[in-house]
A and B are shown apart, each in its own frame.
Chain A
Amino acid sequence: MYKRILACVGEYRKYAILTPLVMVGEVMMEILIPFVMASMIDKGILGEGGISYIVKMGALMVAMALVSLNFGRLGAKYGAKAGMGFAKNLRKTMFDKVQDFSFANVDKFQTSSLITRLTTDVTNTQNAFMMVIRMAARAPVMLVGATIMAVLINKRLSVVFLIAIPVLSVALGFIMSNAHPRFVKMLSLYDRMNNDVQENLTGIRVVKAFVREPDEVKKFEASADAVRRAQVFAEKLIILNNPVMQLSMYGCMIAILWFGGNMVIGGNFELGQLSSFINYIGQILMSLMMISMIFIMMIISRASMTRIYEVLEEKIDLTDEDSDKELKLENGSIEFKNVAFSYAKDKENLTLSKVNFAIKPGETIGIIGGTGSSKTTMVQLIPRLYDVLEGEVLVGGHNVKEYTLEHLRSEVAMVLQKNVLFSGSIIDNLRWGNKEATKEEIEEACKAAEAHDFIMSFPEGYETQLGQGGVNVSGGQKQRLCIARALLKKPKIIILDDSTSAVDTATDKKIREALKDKLSGTTTIIIAQRISSVSDADRVLVLEDGAVDAFDTPAVLMVNNEIYKEVYESQQKGA
């Protein structure tokens, strides 16, 4: 996992390596400066050196401090470059990956979770990374350097370390391994609490309409309390870290004073050496402390890293690697051969089964069927938004898998049921259909989609800025813009998935007429609730429980299809 994520350091590897190296320089100075300080006291003030010696040593110290400062400055600079560059690449890699996700991949993760992974989780990982590259060299160098010095001074006394370090490591290891699952638990509870808030934000009208505020508050209090308890449970272990470190540090100190003191009294050890030895305990334990902090940081960020890793490792279940790059879609014919489909890829749980039909180029096809009859699922197979489980879907005489996705989808335009506009001007949004579209082409498409008039009624016309999600146009206006956007692609097949539900019937009719005139050679598929939307289609496909019930002209269906008749009558009654 770490390897995969660290691969994102990429071109910033130089800085990621330089940072710890420069830090080593700083640490060296930090180890040396105390020597100068000691000699300043021993020889300058206590000894014979006098003022001139102090000044000389002082100058040396200032020089060393300047060198160290420069190393430190470089370390800060390189560290920031490496850390921020890493975060940039990580975000970029994830973003690109998610853009390549198929519908099925997105279904699996859910949008809100993907957003958190790209924002909060990346930030956590970046912080951990920066801490590690800054400390990673520092702590071990200090540990090793100080241990060597200590051993050099007195081998027998360093046995104290040999006992203390393993004891400490076991204690820290125990804390770490127990803390990790507790942090994972805490983060998942945290997610749940945020989900409560999110649901209340989007569903506030429902909450208020049913006067459920007190219950929602109670529910939230329960989630917040669970978070509180989980946090206490997890951090309870982490706060042990400090006392454990202090305990071993002080323990070593006293042990060394006792054993070392006896050696001094016995004449086997010099007093000055004892002082330096004690100084080194400080440095050794300090570096161990830093290492344990690195581990804490890694534990806290490990949950985030796992979530990032899941995105990076997600297998995109729909690729066009085996496609023929040269193959061009010749015409808008569509054929379903024995198609079966399941969202769960489970043969026992089919959404569509044994679907067979053929559509000729240029035909206008209506699709009707009850709620949950899988109309949307079926048409999503045409631009290959999902792959079939069994059978095949042919477009223009070839299996959809033979085309590149980009080519297929540029020839098969689809207006989704739950459609989205993006922040930016209206014209920017329309250009999604065709970047090079001229002003005339755009206006033409908008006229066909009955959008031109209302666009022109805005003071800024086509330059009107839309908020995120197109919040400042009404539902019906949004749907018309989405149709215009799809028309600009000049596709061979256009699929309208209940795309005019918020448009009044008269406008709906005008749009259909315009489509017929302008797109005479284009195969048009219209999913609709209103029978009037499909009644002038060449043929209508009646879908029932994921299977084709009938596929014929409206006139024939009126005579011999029960479902069609029922739908027709349900909309006729009382007239």
Chain B
Amino acid sequence: MKKEKTVRPGSRPKNAGKTLKRIFQYMSRYRLRLFLVLVGITISSVAQIMGTAYLKKVVDGYLTPLLKQYDSGLFHGFIKTLFIMAGIYLTGVISTYAYSRIMLSVSTGTLYKIRTDMFRKMEALPVKYFDTHAHGDIMSRYTNDTDTLRELFSNTVANFIASAISVTGVFLMMLYLSWQLTILVVLMVIFMVWIIKTIGKKSGARFKEQQKYLGEVNGYIEEMFEGQRVVKVFCYEKESKEKFDKINSQLCEAATNANGSASVLMPIMGNLSHVLYAITAVFGGILSISGHLTIGAVVAFLQYTRNFSMPITQMSQQFNSILAALAGAERIFDMIDEEPEVDDGYVTLVNARVDEYGKLTETMDKTGIWAWKHPHKDGTTTLTRVKGEVDFDSVTFGYNAEKTVLNGVSLYAKVGQKIAFVGSTGAGKTTITNLINRFYDVPDGKIRYDGININKIKKDDLRRSLAMVLQDSHLFTGTVMENIRYGRPDAADEEIIAAAKLANAHSFIKHLPKGYDTLLTADGANLSQGQRQLLTIARAAVADPPVLILDEATSSIDTRTEALIEKGMDRLMEGRTVFVIAHRLSTVRNSHAIMVLENGEIIERGNHDSLIGQKGKYYQLYTGMFELS
């Protein structure tokens, strides 16, 4: 289970266009609402521009003449214009609110869709994906990457569009007033954008560096906090603080550089636009004196220059956060595009009923009798009763191509047999369970379940016919009751209590503050390791499958408790095929067959007595244990 150390990719997307298209596809079901947003933004921008125009009209058209000479007609015009202005402004305000509100529901809805799509995909990924990707890295797609997207939706997009609309409007007005001055302004703006780009490139590289150190610092925090107890036991606080100090300072330096160069943009652009204003004024003056332009036009043009450069500066800044959001979106889509677990199985698991002639028929009722439904090419199906026979036919497997973990393993488990695997760590015991469950697929050799190659059985149905109790006893946030019911959602409360009794968990559960309704927090931290294992055994008992896999299921339970649950375990194993993996030989002693694994091969097999008689590896392991007697 190697976890790759992940290198955080830079904050630049690889294929911005494609990603943008994907995002729009996500939003496509809000097409109508997006259109309304666009209309709203346009109305509110236009209202702003028109408001300014009316302001001029009030001053030039009414107040100036009224000052010279009072005229009641003009005065009424003045009042009327004020009302029109109020109307325009009010429309603007209302549409601002309306588009923000619509955008809010569009953006939260889209985020919801992206999150659930990502989660649904994650659930469909093969176990290998989780074994080979750092969990922190997967997690950050749900947190950091969706956060940048949220920022994009809630602020950037609307601002960007608004800026674009006012730039276009102002540009047209400028062009209308004077093409000569417009060329001048455009040249200057191109120069300004070039500066933004140059600084942006530099700060982009610095941001990359900052991300690198940020990843390092966060990784260190995670590792040290997870190992906090070891730090305490070894009095390692001083060393760990010193090392943190070092990388934290590196991060600080990189972040200062990155942020410094990014936030210097705003004052540079703001003040360059003042320079632009001054230059335009001089040229405008020359043009008006030489008679190419009226004085009024120059004044209006200068007014528009101020409204032109500001939104462009804003847009260029927003451009950076758009790129960052696209980079995040790309990582999200990468995960959504991962190959899901392949499942070309066609044999399914169905409930069956046995008629008086012993013939199986499919039924929707819960009969407790299960059958494999085998479809044939001609459209007919055959039902065979699920028994629980498993055989391995020279199975060879490795997690990667270079190293095989299992080498030509063959074995046969008859219905109701208990097969045990013993051997030192790394011998390949857990791998066997990974294969039966098809967490990993076998390239060489065959595994058959009731004579059917497991690759032909639908994965979900295969897994439903098996129950596992794993070494790491994962519990979920929820009540004790819900955690046991995890094995079979439709189990009645009585069945759950019966299963808990079987696993000898009932007595401690009763002593919990709220009994079966006690809420377990993250990974059941309020229970001891042994108690958690008892719950996972109860969970498997509720599932009630024909085949049971116990992977170090009792390693944290003391042998006395194990002896207490033995009766329950015996009842649990009755009539089922059971695979047991254990270090503790007392756990495996009464198995029908014991496989001793070494380096991926079965080196000894037989029952306890015959293996002891062989005086081989098993004998050594066993006698090593009972030196006392």
Contact = CB atoms under 8 A, between A and B. Distances in A.
Contact of B626 (A242, A373, A575): A575
A184 interface: no
Given A37-B277, A371-B530, A574-B589, A501 B288 contact: no
Contacts of A261: 58, 62-63, 78
A119 B218 CA distance: 7
A76 B260 contact: yes
Contact of B116 (A64, A91, A224): A224
Contact of B63 (A51, A240, A271, A536): A271
Interface in A196-238: 196-213, 215-217, 220-221, 224-225, 227-228, 231-232, 235-236
Interface string B118-145: 0110111001001000110011001100
Contact of A235 (B104, B233, B521): B104
B255 A87 contact: yes
A509 B627 contact: yes
Given A88-B248, A207-B123, A529-B558, A422 B227 contact: yes
A560 B424 CA distance: 35
Interface string A48-66: 0011001101110110111
A350 interface: no
B97 A240 contact: yes
A274 B63 contact: yes
Given A210-B543, A265-B70, A505-B621, A119 B221 contact: yes
B241 to A, nearest CB: 5
Contact of A258 (B82, B101, B139, B559): B82
Q: Which of A79, A213, A243, A529 is the most central at the interface, judged by chain B CB atoms within 10 Å of its CB?
A: A529
Interface in A80-109: 80-81, 83-85, 87-88, 91-92, 95-96, 98-103, 106-107
B508 to A, nearest CB: 6
Contacts of A106: 228-229
A532 B249 contact: no
Contacts of A197: 119, 122, 138-139, 142
Contacts of A520: none
Given A209-B466, A271-B63, A416-B230, A80 B259 contact: yes
Contacts of A563: 560
A328 interface: no
A286 interface: no
Contact of B256 (A66, A81, A242, A471): A81
- Interface size of B as a range: 35 or more
A92 B224 CA distance: 13
Contact of A101 (B228, B236, B267): B228
Contact of A54 (B89, B271, B281, B530): B281
A71 B3 contact: no
A45 interface: yes
Nearest to B437: A209
Contacts of B226: 111, 420, 469
Contacts of B477: 195-196, 199
A205 B232 contact: no
B61 to A, nearest CB: 12
A132 interface: no
A514 B226 CA distance: 31
Q: What 9 pairs between A and B have smallest CB-CB spacing?
A: A72-B267, A371-B530, A203-B474, A570-B563, A58-B278, A476-B425, A250-B89, A506-B624, A88-B252
Interface in B203-260: 217-219, 221-237, 239-241, 244-245, 248-249, 251-252, 255-257, 259-260
Interface stretch (A1-9, A301-309, A390-398, A403-411): A403-411
Interface in A526-575: 529-532, 535-536, 554, 563, 566-567, 569-575
Interface stretch (B13-21, B373-381, B578-586): B578-586
Given A80-B263, A111-B228, A246-B93, 4 more contacts: A37-B277, A206-B474, A469-B223, A505-B583
B606 interface: no
A42 B586 CA distance: 101
Contacts of A574: 586, 589-590, 608
Given A416-B230, A504-B424, A236 B101 contact: yes
19 contacts: A83-B259, A84-B252, A88-B251, A205-B474, A206-B474, A217-B119, A231-B108, A239-B97, A250-B86, A253-B89, A257-B82, A257-B85, A265-B67, A376-B528, A416-B229, A468-B219, A503-B425, A532-B626, A571-B586
A10 interface: no
Contact of B225 (A62, A114, A569): A114
A535 B486 CA distance: 40
Nearest to A30: B270
Given A45-B284, A76-B264, A33 B560 contact: no
A174 interface: no
Contacts of B522: 110, 112, 195, 198-199
Contacts of B62: 261
B460 interface: yes
Contacts of A73: 264, 267-268
Contacts of A84: 252, 255-256, 259
A194 to B, nearest CB: 6
A69 interface: yes
Interface string B486-497: 110100000000
A20 interface: no
B584 A530 contact: yes
A443 interface: no
B468 A409 contact: no
Given A209-B466, A467-B3, A201 B138 contact: yes
B425 A474 contact: yes
Interface in A107-142: 107, 110-112, 114-115, 118-120, 130, 134
B264 A271 contact: no
A44 interface: yes
Nearest to A206: B474
B223 A92 contact: no
Given A261-B78, A532-B627, A46 B235 contact: no
Contact of A501 (B127, B278, B556): B556
A44 B628 contact: no
A554 B260 CA distance: 70
Contacts of B111: 228, 231
Contact of B245 (A92, A193, A264, A554): A92
A71 B267 contact: yes
Given A51-B282, A532-B625, A575-B589, A471 B225 contact: no
A100 B249 CA distance: 20
A509 B119 contact: no
B560 A566 contact: yes
Interface string A359-389: 0000000001111110010000001010000
A44 B127 CA distance: 76
A419 interface: yes
B49 interface: no
A246 B116 contact: no
Given A420-B230, A531-B559, A472 B235 contact: no
A471 B271 contact: no
A433 B43 CA distance: 70
A335 interface: no
B384 interface: no
Contacts of B109: 228
Central interface residue in B134, B236, B531, B628, by most chain A CB within 10 Å: B628
Contacts of B543: 210
A178 interface: no
B282 A111 contact: no
B285 A44 contact: yes
B322 interface: no
A213 B124 contact: yes
Nearest to A100: B237
Contacts of B439: 205, 208
Nearest to A469: B226
B425 A502 contact: yes
Nearest to A69: B271
